[in-house]
Structures are given as structure tokens and as C-alpha cells.
Structure 1
Amino acid sequence: MSHTLISLSRRAAIAALGAAAAGLAVPAFAQASYPNKPIRIVVGYAPGGSVDMAARVVADVLTAKLGTTVVVDNVTGAAGIVAAQRVVTSAADGYTLLAGSSNEMAATGLVNPAQKYDPIKDLTPIGLIATAPVLLVAGSRVPVKTLDEFIALVKRNPGKFSYGSSGVGSTLHFAGELVKQRAGLFITHIPYRGTSALTSDLAGGTLDFAIVSPTAAAPFIQSGRITALGVTSAQRFPTLPQVPALGEHPQLKGYDLVGWFALAAPRGLPPEIAQRLTAALKAGLAEPAFRQRLEAGGAIPPAGNEDLAQIMRADLQKYAGLVKFANMRE
């Protein structure tokens, strides 16, 4: 081989190595430079609620772990759909994120035609923030104190009693319909626009039963005006250990339907940015201070090994079956 050919071969090899190194450096540089401006977390609910609480914990987590300003933007409307729609149409650059719930990220699209996005196709899952079991409760004028008494009373009086939830297609509505399906009950669903009127009607005796969050129900349970019959998670709720899990009852065996809060980004988020956000979220939520804030707000922090995409797909499948069972319509 001539000296000229050897020189050309060496030059080609050097050029190839340089190109490879440059190719590897692009994502590393992008990851190292992100974030270089404030991050906005969009929430579809008003300040002070459970999703807003979770979002503000995450804002502090990302501020601490990424070293940038993180702001929470409350964009209310249509049970979280308006906020989620704003996020899915935003730039996929990691600077606009959704702190959403199982409503707008799994449930409501099955029954609400106002939802124009597909949560599986149009969102990039970042990670689970917390799970949020809810309670089956009895109102002040219903003569039941246990799950046994509830099931027996409703079965003796098909169609006579009603239960309330936070709206058609909400996670709370699905939780109530799963009780009906598993126990073979005929009980009428009454949708409310929020938990304030629902808990007032329960305490006042104009609503028989409801599916409601522990936080909303707590003061009424403590005063004796509402009776907690069961929690919708597979295990008992840590702050209400005396309340049985619904799945403990023979007619509700295996019952498990909980709400959850999660962090997501628009479709097409670069993998290196998604990975950095996921790592920051998991690291922060492993710290006791942040976990305690979630627990104080009535949520259960994640173990850290959950697959958010799988949770979304599994819930969509579960909810689709309940839509058919209950003939749900918005």
C-alpha cells in the first residue's frame, strides 16, 4: 500500500472517530444544558386541591434537583382536560409539563367528547407522583356502619338509594361503578361538580352514599356526620387503618381502583430530557420531607419502580369495561 493510501486511510479513520464522538456529544450536551430557563407545570385544577398539592410538591422537587425555577400554572376547566390539551399542544422541549390525575390521563376521554387528545399517544410519561385511594362513605341518615350492612341494605332496596361522585367519567365515578358491578347492586349515580356540595349533602342527609377523597371526607368523618365504609385501594389507607379495604369483603374480593397523580410532557420529548426529569422526580420523591408532604395531603408516595405508561394502559382497559357496564355518558 502506498504512503498516500495509508495517509488517506488514517485521515478517514480520524474523521470517522471525530464524527462518532460528535454524534455522542449532542445528546450529552443537550442533557447537560437542560434546563436553562424556568419550567412550567400546568395543573387542571384550582389551587388548594389534591392535584394542585401534588404539583407543588413536584415543583419543589424539580427546583431542588434541577437547580432551576419551576412554577405552577393552574388552568382549570373540564375536569383537567383544558390543562392537558394545552400541554399536548406545547413544544416538546421539557419546559411545559403536566401534573395530571387519573381523570384526564386515563378516565375521562372514554366518556367525554370534549377530550380531543389521546393520553397514550399524545403524552410522554415522566413518572408517578402518588396514588390517591378514595373512600366509600355513608351519609348521616343512612342506617349503616359497615360494608356488610351497606350491601345488604342496597340489595333489599334496589334502585331506592343513590351515591354521588365528582362527575361522570371521573375516577370516583368508576370506583362507584366497580362496587356496583362486583357486588351486583342497583344504586343510582348522582354526579356533582365538586366535593364541597357532595360532602354537604352527605352530612345533611340528602345524599345516601358517595365515593369521595379522604381529605374532603375527614372533617365529616371525625364529627360523626359521615361514616367511612371502605377504602378503594387493595390495602388499608395508612391514615385510616380502622377502615377496611373494599377488597376485604367476600363480594368485593380483589377490588382495587385508585386515583393517581403523575407528571407528563408533550409527545416527542427528547429521551435524554425525559430521563433527566424522571431521575430528578424519583430522587426527590425518595426523600422523607417530600414524601411526608404528599402523605399529609392524603396521598401515598410511590415506591419508585412504577411504570407510568403501564399504569395508564391498564387503567384505560379497566375503565373501558366499566363504561360498557354502566353505559356511561357525559
Structure 2
Amino acid sequence: MIRRSSTTNLRRKLLVAAASVACMLAAPANAQSSDYPKQPIKIIVGYPPGGSGDITGRIVADMLSKQLNTAVVVENVGGAGGSIGAQRVVSAQPDGYTLLVGANNEIAINTLTNPSLKYDGINDLTHIGLINSQPLVLVANPKSNIKTIDDFVRKAKESPESLAYGTSGIGTSFHLVGELINHSADIAMLHVPYRGAAPLTTDLLGGQIELGIVVLSSALPHIKDGRLIAVGTTELERSASTPDIPALAEHDSLKGFNMGNWYTFAAPKGTPDDVIAKLQAALRAGLSDPEVRKRLEDAGSRPFNGTEDVNDFLAKESAKFKEIVSFADLKK
């Protein structure tokens, strides 16, 4: 009897001790997330400085710094269509101090076109909210005699496979837009991939290629000085910053056409729920600030509200991209 009682008491003491240790171990983690942030935050952008992704990232950094009263820095980790930067965040400690401003390429497209990619941009990240969407634009060199969407469709149908368009690379959102135009208008433009937007722009301005698909904000200076013709923008409605440029969707053969470059704000999977909640609140508050919205609009984009169902949006966009990749046979 004595031995049994002693054994029982010992077991109880061990259980109490184990519970105490578990509480002690859990306490720092809870404290760490509840007083977040207590150190600078890093935002990864998967593109070089100066582009639309970098501009969006820096606007978000300023917004977050103001809302959370902490330092926020942007680190540009370019390469592989944004995938290197995204992979950095996927692999980061899920503590809320390494975040991603990611575009549709590295979030939803690259995983469809590159089976060797080691992450899933939708499922391997926690998406905090949508930031903005930026239209692309189909532009033409003036020597092409393409001035309107009608001109473009007519020439493409009259000369099948002789009309070429350039983009900044195979499998990019720009390439997918071109293939969606082909599919929707029942035409067959040839795709000419370039190593980035700079050499494409040089050839467009020089007349070495007739058409190109580029970011609207980047093309605007050349459109305004008459060196490029804006045929049509790629989102459903005209851009607020360029109401005189028609949307491709206004043409009968391209009705419903809608595809731009969007950016989402994301954290490593496993980031504590209360940290995600703080970041969501900061994003929503920031995107409701008229000054922030004006900065995004001045950069040629359409701000989201931060209240949209980001996961539903990503699922629908991914399905659209998957369909384009399939009918254009873009999978490597």
C-alpha cells in the first residue's frame, strides 16, 4: 500500500512539473506575439529597385511604419520572376518580421509554368490582404499604323502569325495577357520574349518590333510624347489615371477581358494569428488613408481596400491563369 501511494504521489509531482515547464515554454511565445512589433520589420520585394513592385513595396513600408509605429525596411531580392524573393519569405521564421509584397507572377503564375519551383505561392504563405492592381497596356510603334483596337484586330486577322508582340519574358503575366488576347480575339500573334522590359522598350521605340505588352505607368512617358501608341489597357475598365486610353474589353472580340498585375501582402505560413490580425488592421487602416491611396494611384495603380477576401480572389485568379497556361501550352 505504501509503495503504491508513493508511486502515485511521484507521478502527480512529475505531471505538475511537466505542466509548469510547458507553461513556461509557451509564455515567451505568447508574450512575443502579443507585444508585436518590438523590432524592425523587413518587407521582401522580388524585383529590382525602381519598378512597380518596388514602388508598391515602399508605399506599403511607409504605411506599415506609420500604423505600427516601428521601422520597416524594404529589401529587393530580384530574380526568377520574383520567385527568389518569395522563397526567402516562405522559408523565413514565422514571427511577423519578414513579410512579402508579392505580385501575381511569384504568387500564382510561376508555380503553374515551372514544376521545379520549390514552393506554392498561394498555399505556402499566409496572405494578409490585397494591396493594389495595375493595368498593363498593349502598345504599338507608330510605324505599324495601328492606332486603335479595331486596327489591331483587323491587322492580326488579315495577317495571321505575321504580327509579333514582345514581353519581358516567357511565362510572365505579360506573356499570359498576350496569349489571352490571342485566345479571346481568335488571332495568332507571335510571342517574342525579351530579357526584361528595358530591351523590349528599346526595340519598340526603334521599330524593331511592332507591338508590346508593358506596365501602363512605365509606358506613359513614351505614350505622352507620341513615340508609342496606346492600343488598349488590360483591365475590365479604363484606368482612372488614363481615362482617354480605351480598355481592350470595350472591343466586341475582347468583351470581358480583364487581367492586370496585382500585389498581395503575405507572411510565412505559421505566423501567429494575433500578429496576422495586427498586420491586417494596419493594412486596412493604411489603405483607407487618402494620402496612401493617392500615392498608389499616382503610380498608375488601383488600390484595394484591404477588406477583400484575399483567398477567394487568389483562387479565382489561379484558376484563370491555369486555364491560360493550359490552352497556350506554357508549362515547361
* Fold in common (TM above 0.5): yes
Instruction: Tell me the alpha carbon deviations over residues 286-320 of structure 1, each in whole angstroms, 9 at most, x when there is no partner.
Output: 10111111112111111343222222211111011
SS of residue matched to 2:243: coil
Q: Which runs of 4+ in 1 moved over 4 A?
A: 25-31
CA-CA distance at 1:28 after TM superposition: 7.8
Aligned to 1:198: 200
SS of residue matched to 1:298: coil
Aligned to 2:271: 269
Out of 209, 215, 218, the position equivalent to 2:217 is: 215
Out of 244, 247, 250, the position equivalent to 1:245 is: 247
Aligned to 1:18: none
SS of residue matched to 1:305: coil
Alignment of 1:47-66 (within 5 A): 47-66=49-68
**Percent identity for Structure 1 against Structure 2:** 44
1:285 and 2:287 correspond: yes
Equivalences, count: 308
CA contact (8 A) 1:195 1:216 kept: no
Structure 2: how far apart are the matches of 1:312 and 1:304? 14
TM-score (norm 1): 0.89
Instruction: Tell me the alpha carbon deviations over residues 12-68 of structure 1, each in whole angstroms, 9 at most, x when there is no partner.
Output: xxxxxxxxxx9xx99985554001111110111111111011111111111111111
SS of residue matched to 1:293: helix
Q: Give the gaps of 5 or more residues in structure 2.
A: 1-22
Alignment of 1:1-330 (within 5 A): 31-329=33-331
Structure 1: how far apart are the matches of 2:209 and 2:302? 28
CA-CA distance at 1:125 after TM superposition: 0.1
CA-CA distance at 1:87 after TM superposition: 0.6
AA of the residue aligned to 1:265: A
User: Structure 1 residues 124 and 39 mapped into 2: Cα distance closer, same or farther (>3 Å)?
Assistant: same
AA of the residue aligned to 2:185: A
Structure 2: how far apart are the matches of 1:26 and 1:306? 33
SS of residue matched to 1:177: helix
Structure 2: how far apart are the matches of 1:216 and 1:193? 16
Instruction: Tell me the alpha carbon deviations over residues 100-123 of structure 1, each in whole angstroms, 9 at most, x when there is no partner.
Output: 111101112211245210112200
Structure 1: how far apart are the matches of 2:166 and 2:116? 22
CA contact (8 A) 2:125 2:267 kept: yes
SS of residue matched to 2:150: helix
| RMSD, aligned α-carbons | 1.8
